[in-house]
Amino acid sequence: QSNGSQTLWVNGVKKIDMQNMRWRTTTDLRANMLRLDNWTSYVTKTEHLWMDDITVWRP
Considering the domain boundaries, does residue 48 fall inside one? no
Considering the domain boundaries, does residue 56 fall inside one? no
19-55 pLDDT, tens per residue?
A: 988 877 766 666 777 888 777 667 777 777 788 888 8
Q: Are 22 and 2 in contact (CB under 8 A)?
A: yes
Among 20, 21, 52, which residue's Cα sits nearest to residue 36? 52
Considering the domain boundaries, does residue 10 fall inside one? yes
Considering the domain boundaries, does residue 5 fall inside one? yes
The pLDDT confidence band at residue 14, using thresholds 50, 70 and 90, is very high
| Cα radius of gyration rounded to whole Å, the chain | 16
Considering the domain boundaries, does residue 53 fall inside one? no
Q: Which domain holds residue 14?
A: 1-25
Question: How many domains does one find in the chain?
Answer: 1
Burial 23-41 (b: 16+ CB within 10 A, else e): eeeeeeeeeeeeeeeeeee
Considering the domain boundaries, does residue 20 fall inside one? yes
Considering the domain boundaries, does residue 32 fall inside one? no
Considering the domain boundaries, does residue 45 fall inside one? no
